[in-house]
Amino acid sequence: MATSLKSLSHKLGYHFKDDALLTLALTHRSYSDPNNERLEFLGDAVLNYFITQKLFHEYPHHQEGNLSRLRANLVNRDILAVLAKQLDISQHLYLGAGELKSGGLERNSILADAMEAIIGAIYLDGGTQACQDRIITWYSDAFIDSSSRGLKKDPKTQLQEYLQAHKMNLPVYTLISIEGNEHTKIFHLECHIDALKQTSTGRGSSRRRAEQDAAQHSLLALGKMTET
């Protein structure tokens, strides 16, 4: 394994048996094909499963809605990007020249996608237990923070309640495009608030995640949230 990948493996707390999986997880689509999109798809599902399992056992008296809000606080682009920055993932990413020039190494969406891809790679390389151990370790501070903040509502709910409180029409979410193939789709959409003549964009691996992303950007524009 190359020195840089050894350094990253040490920070991840996991040594890959198949180095090629880690390299692939760090490869953005702007750099080459194959890239990390399939691993990102897998990592997204694996992460959601383990976080859901953790919340289910830690909060035995919470109903489904509360558990969903707690999970949304933990499994989102901003939290994943924070984890990626803590692990210095950007130093090891493979990006195309255009993405490098436009600041892709610091872009939350790219960092979050790489983090999910690494999760997928560890799952394939080391199995269920190894992957679960890494996720729970990485998320230890986030779990404490989420618990102390309580049941914060997701961005889409916050935006809806804000507009209703100000007697404004609800936002309109419009799908703009879908990238990728059947298993690695990326949804792009707009969130338009008519009364404010404001439009924000969002992206995600599902339409729901893209809507949450767009709603969060709308809230940021309204001054109702601060970026992580």
Collapsing DSSP to helix, strand or coil, 31 comes out as coil
182 in active site? no
Give the Cα separation of 218 and 69 in Å (integer). Answer: 19
Residue of 37, 44, 113, 213 with catalytic role: 44
Give the Cα separation of 111 and 88 in Å (integer). Answer: 10
Q: What is the dihedral of CA 175, 180, 186, 190, to 10 degrees?
A: -30
116 in active site? yes
Residue of 37, 113, 116, 125 with catalytic role: 116
Amino acid making up residue 117: A
Beta partners for residue 204, in sequence order? 187
- The CA-based angle 8-117-122, given to 5 degrees, is 65
End-to-end, the C-alpha distance of the chain in Å comes to 33
Closest C-alpha among 220, 218, 186, 221 to residue 203: 186
Beta partners for residue 200, in sequence order? 191
Amino acid making up residue 186: I
What are the catalytic residues?
44, 116
